Chains A and B, each alone.
Chain A
Amino acid sequence: MKAILALEDGTLFEGQSLGAQGRTSGEVVFNTGMTGYQEILTDPSYAGQIVSLTYPLIGNYGITPEDFESRRVQVEGFVVREAADIPSNWRSTQTLADFLKERGIVGIQGVDTRALTRALRVKGVMMGAISTQDTPESLLEYIRTSPNYSAADFARKVTTETPYRWRVGDTQPVALDAPDQAEPRYRIALLDFGVKYNILRSLANLNCETTVYPCTATAQEVLSQNPDGIFLSPGPGDPEQYGYIVDTVKRLVDKKPIMGVCMGNQILGYAFGSKTFKLKFGHRGSNHPIKDLNTGRVYITSQNHGYAVDPDNLKDGMEVAHINLNDGTVEGLRHKELPIFSIQYHPEASPGPNDSAYFFHQYIKMLDRFYGNN
């Protein structure tokens, strides 16, 4: 079945339907990672976006539920050049197409995704739509009437409705009143703007139990169980929308050690006087080099962000700790005195390189120092 992809500037791509039929709109972005389509599809930070993959052969290793990063598919739409009909991998349980259909996700294949990438690189990311039922004209009209990406509160859409726990050894969320297991090393309270499971897995692997709170939780609620540390999660959307979260975080900064990732980094930027700006076409992929300004060491990182913290105006002891080597933008913050640090990219990887997993260890060390557990 035929499908079309339209960008708001009128650029059109023809292809075949992939997954569910119907139509969908969102901000069109590209990711340059060569593996990891399942992790991308289920990453809440892609809410509101139509994701195109630059690698042309997608779905080769099928679908494996244990590689999901959240409960559901989060992308608004999916664009690939070629989707594998018959996958091959020992863990695969389903094809990409069947999976998308089952989850009601509208996608398109057969698109010259390189041409799409070049268009977005030159003009910047923009709104677009995929449809199996529209004419180009009616689809452009649909884009015009769709809500703009930057105007929506996506964190509130993807956050957990009620708090839950992830204990050491858990492979999925459990209820707050689930029985305690062995005493964890630390109890972490996580503010969920769109958390990926691998953050919870990574903390659990270091013997930490995490309680996940909705993004609307107050500082009082987050502190109610007297956690040892606070974690600010990644998440979708324009951070400019999240004044209410910034207010909550401002009340938490001098209470407990804090680690922030991605949106967490941006929220901390706001909490310490700065703002963010939109990147032309974002950083999405598994190959971004960043530099640790303290050690001079360079790491290859997994990234997914469309906004960057403005390094000017940072105040009250917050400073830039990491920069992106491609464009010099801020990739990490560190407080000079308080036990607070954050990174704009993904130490939990999944997908992407594991090189930055050491941040979780750093967080534990920070907690150790804070509580005198050396």
Chain B
Amino acid sequence: MPKDPSIKKVLLIGSGPIIIGQAAEFDYAGAQACRSLREEGIEVVLINSNPATIMTDLEMADRVYVEPLSVEFVERIVAKERPDGIVATLGGQTGLNLATLVAEAGILERYNVRLLGTPLRAIRQAEDREEFRNLMREIGEPVPESWIITDESQLDEPLASNIWPLIVRPAYTLGGTGGGIAHNETELRTITKSGLALSMRHQVMIERYLVGWKEVEYEVMRDANDTAITVCNMENFDPMGVHTGDSIVIAPSQTLSDKEYQMLRTASLKIIRSLGIEGGCNVQLSLDPNSFSYYVIEVNPRVSRSSALASKATGYPIARVSAKIAIGMHLDEIENAVTRKTLACFEPALDYCVLKIPRWPFDKFVGADRRITTQMKATGEVMSIDRAFEPALMKAIRSLEVGIYGLANKAGNTLSDMQIEEAIRVPNDERLWAITEGFRRGMMVEEIQSLSNVDPWFLRKLQGLVNLETRLKTGGKALGNLVQILETDAAPSVETLQEQYGLVIRLLKEAKRMGFADRTIAEFAGVSEGKLRKLRKYLGIVPIYKMVDTCAAEFEAATPYYYSCYDTEDE
């Protein structure tokens, strides 16, 4: 069905102030949605209490209300503007919660306005732990053992089960506020108490904590015609127990075979269909690293932080497409904005590796507890793209702007072996560098895996980087000599240098290909960064640029974007 002709004007709910767990990604989603709706000739009215957003710029929507995100204000705006529909799934959890309250207050009926996109029933079913679990049982999708608690007196059953550790998740909160992992009765009581206090519904779910299981996410889209696709899947570097927002994330998944990938994809599509979501949705699953067993962890029935990452990672504009689905369009009626030749109804093929590292504010809150758990602490994130895992990781590290340019942080070499082990075992913001320091001190992949439960594939990549770092340290002197030769008046030709210093030039090439910064290599060579860069350029070791085009070069792209890498063909 083409766009619903009865929808001429919509009210878009923004996500309000930026808080931990809900940052600029929802501004990005809202701004995309404004454009997408206006493209279809829809008049867009926007409410958002946060004026420091792109979406509240005058040219984004037809009318902008910078007002509190409350039922009263929404009602007033609806009364004045009389929109045909409300789009609430692009304003994060705030938008979704507000829409629920608006519907419960009878405003939709009073003003004859429809909630567009995902129906309210689906939002409730996805958000209410118990309803969600019942639905999963109905469709035969596995969920971990769990209990719904609305009062501390109900803890007897989970305690009697003697399943440890347990994870506590409050209902209707964002970023997992108030949740945590309990290893014993005391911890369970404390976390439950704070969770209940923070939940909008005074409800928490306590469930089996899947120690060491892989955490995998699928971004899925569905339209009113029941066509459903997956935009992207992502694998967490950190296994279960770390909030996705606090985890290093890789797209696409790296350690899943086709059987596993498709099994989880099929489950995700089954779930979005059973909920009847119209638009984007995020499904989080947990996979046993040693069998085909998996559990459905949770579903976000809306555009989420992961959608923003998936959009940038694939070139597929989830918010833009979700907005069009909300006004009744089908996936096969929406064009792929990157190729302009194919349709939004396909699944992006990546020919690169995407990495996200969270950015924590511990440099500002010096005394804070730096452990990361199920409650999100990161205030931002960086994303990088490259042809392989290693250079993507190195790029992301530099993008963090925390004064670290590679595999070593400042604390690393001052810690004792025991402290390193502890920092590998207990997830924290510097675990990555504790792992590389562990390898530097001769720890084995198996040791680090048993401490951290991080998949050996990632660990071997880190180990490989540390090995290359060692070779760079050894080859540093030769590199330094090369820099000196270039400084002399009669610098030999590149060909001559290749002949005489082939080995060290190859090492430099490899280091660049693996993502080492000029700055790091210069340190090993004992020269300035500028001089090393001059040598590198003289030798013709320079990055080239490749496209993010949603289709792995199968089709020509009209509006792609680019990433740098040390590969062969420059586009």
Interface residues of A (CB under 8 A from B): 30, 32-36, 38-39, 54-57, 60-61, 64, 67, 81-82, 84-91, 112-115, 117-118, 121, 281, 285-289, 291, 296-300, 325-326, 349-355
* Contacts known (A291-B332, A354-B266); A89 close to B257, Cβ less than 8 A: yes
16 contacts between A and B (CB under 8 A): A34-B350, A35-B257, A56-B351, A56-B388, A57-B353, A90-B289, A114-B546, A114-B552, A121-B553, A121-B555, A288-B346, A289-B345, A296-B225, A353-B262, A353-B347, A354-B266
15 more A-B contacts (CB under 8 A) besides A54-B553, A86-B456?
A: A32-B349, A35-B262, A55-B351, A56-B352, A56-B388, A61-B256, A67-B258, A115-B567, A115-B568, A281-B554, A289-B343, A299-B227, A300-B230, A353-B262, A353-B347
Contact indicator per residue, chain B 298-338, by CB within 8 Å of chain A (1) or not (0): 00000000000000000000000000000000111000000
Tally of contact residues, B, Cβ under 8 A: 54
* Contact (Cβ within 8 A) B457 A118: no
Contact of B457 among A64, A88, A326 (CB under 8 A): A88
- 4 interchain residue pairs of minimum CB distance: A115-B569, A36-B258, A88-B457, A54-B552
CA distance A117 to B553 in the complex (A): 6
* Contact (Cβ within 8 A) B353 A56: yes
CA distance A118 to B225 in the complex (A): 34
| CB closest chain-A residue, reference B386 | A56
* Contact (Cβ within 8 A) B554 A32: yes
Which residues from chain A contact B262 at a C-beta distance below 8 Å? Answer: 35, 349, 351-354
CA distance A142 to B326 in the complex (A): 57
| CB closest chain-A residue, reference B261 | A35
Which residues from chain B contact A57 at a C-beta distance below 8 Å? Answer: 254, 353, 388-389
CA distance A32 to B314 in the complex (A): 14
| CB closest chain-B residue, reference A15 | B568
Within the complex, the shortest CB–CB distance from B289 to chain A, in Å, comes to 6
CA distance A88 to B289 in the complex (A): 10
Within the complex, the shortest CB–CB distance from A75 to chain B, in Å, comes to 16
* Contact (Cβ within 8 A) B332 A287: no
* Contact (Cβ within 8 A) A90 B290: yes
Judge if B371 is at the interface, Cβ distance under 8 Å: no
| CB closest chain-B residue, reference A115 | B569
Interface positions of B from 363 to 401, Cβ below 8 Å from A: 387-389
* Contact (Cβ within 8 A) A352 B269: no
* Contact (Cβ within 8 A) B343 A91: no
Within the complex, the shortest CB–CB distance from A147 to chain B, in Å, comes to 28
Which residues from chain B contact A84 at a C-beta distance below 8 Å? Answer: 457
Q: A34, A90, A286, A351: which has the most chain B beta carbons within 10 Å?
A: A34
* Contact (Cβ within 8 A) B567 A353: no
Within the complex, the shortest CB–CB distance from A101 to chain B, in Å, comes to 21
CA distance A105 to B290 in the complex (A): 30
* Contacts known (A297-B225, A297-B226, A352-B262); A55 close to B553, Cβ less than 8 A: no
Contact of B552 among A32, A89, A288 (CB under 8 A): A32
CA distance A67 to B457 in the complex (A): 20
Contact of B256 among A35, A67, A285, A289 (CB under 8 A): A35
Contact of A325 among B342, B349, B553, B554 (CB under 8 A): B342
Judge if B348 is at the interface, Cβ distance under 8 Å: yes
Within the complex, the shortest CB–CB distance from B3 to chain A, in Å, comes to 16
Judge if B455 is at the interface, Cβ distance under 8 Å: yes
Within the complex, the shortest CB–CB distance from B172 to chain A, in Å, comes to 33
Judge if B460 is at the interface, Cβ distance under 8 Å: yes
* Contact (Cβ within 8 A) A67 B259: yes
Judge if B493 is at the interface, Cβ distance under 8 Å: no
Judge if B265 is at the interface, Cβ distance under 8 Å: yes
Q: B225, B348, B349: which has the most chain A beta carbons within 10 Å?
A: B349
Which residues from chain A contact B567 at a C-beta distance below 8 Å? Answer: 112, 114-115
Within the complex, the shortest CB–CB distance from B276 to chain A, in Å, comes to 16
Which residues from chain A contact B261 at a C-beta distance below 8 Å? Answer: 34-35
Within the complex, the shortest CB–CB distance from A113 to chain B, in Å, comes to 7
Which residues from chain A contact B245 at a C-beta distance below 8 Å? Answer: none
CA distance A87 to B227 in the complex (A): 35
Within the complex, the shortest CB–CB distance from B188 to chain A, in Å, comes to 31
